[in-house]
């Protein structure tokens, strides 16, 4: 069952609103701009409330390094999935950023994770 969008203090809430109307507007603009440059945006879960500063959880895929969103941070329920061919390529992609906050690597090949 996908996370439920609602008021943060409600126990069943999985996704709350963004911090401000400006943050909501900015994230929606980022998603739209990414799609304009060829990225795929897939909305997930139940529809979010139409009041408040909610943004529909959206999975972003088909991202290429020349897409402007590649160099931007997304502050909201918007995971971005990047494809790569080998460890060298993923390291180069990870290092081609102005940001150094956090990254995650998922693999079924333990030798890749140990490298």
What is the residue range of 45's domain? 19-114
User: Within a domain: residue 25?
Assistant: yes
DSSP 86: S
- The predicted pLDDT at position 54 comes to 92
User: Within a domain: residue 83?
Assistant: yes
User: Within a domain: residue 6?
Assistant: no
Q: Lowest-confidence range among 4-13, 53-62, 64-73, 77-86? A: 4-13
Q: CA-to-CA distance for 6 and 2, rounded, in angstroms?
A: 13
- The predicted pLDDT at position 59 comes to 95
CA atoms within 13 A on the CB side of 100: 2
């060298």: which residue's tokens? 88
73: domain CATH number is: 3.40.309.10
How many residues does the structure list for the chain?
A: 115
What's the structural domain count of the chain?
1
pLDDT tens per residue across span 32-56: 999 999 999 999 988 888 888 999 9
Q: Are 7 and 13 in contact (CB under 8 A)?
A: yes
pLDDT tens per residue across span 1-35: 455 555 666 666 678 889 999 999 999 999 999 99
Q: Is the pLDDT of residue 99 over 80?
A: no
């Amino acid at each position: 069952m996908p996370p439920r969008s609602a008021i943060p203090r409600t126990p069943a809430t999985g996704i709350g609103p963004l911090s401000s109307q400006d943050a909501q507007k900015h994230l929606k603009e980022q998603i739209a701009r990414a799609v304009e440059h060829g990225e795929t945006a897939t909305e997930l879960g139940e529809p979010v409330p139409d009041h408040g500063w909610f943004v529909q959880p959206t999975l972003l895929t088909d991202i290429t390094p020349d897409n402007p969103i590649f160099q931007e941070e997304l502050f909201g329920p918007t995971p971005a999935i990047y494809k790569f061919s080998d460890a060298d390529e993923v390291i180069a992609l990870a290092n081609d950023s102005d940001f150094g906050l956090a990254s995650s690597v998922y693999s079924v090949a333990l030798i890749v994770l140990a490298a």
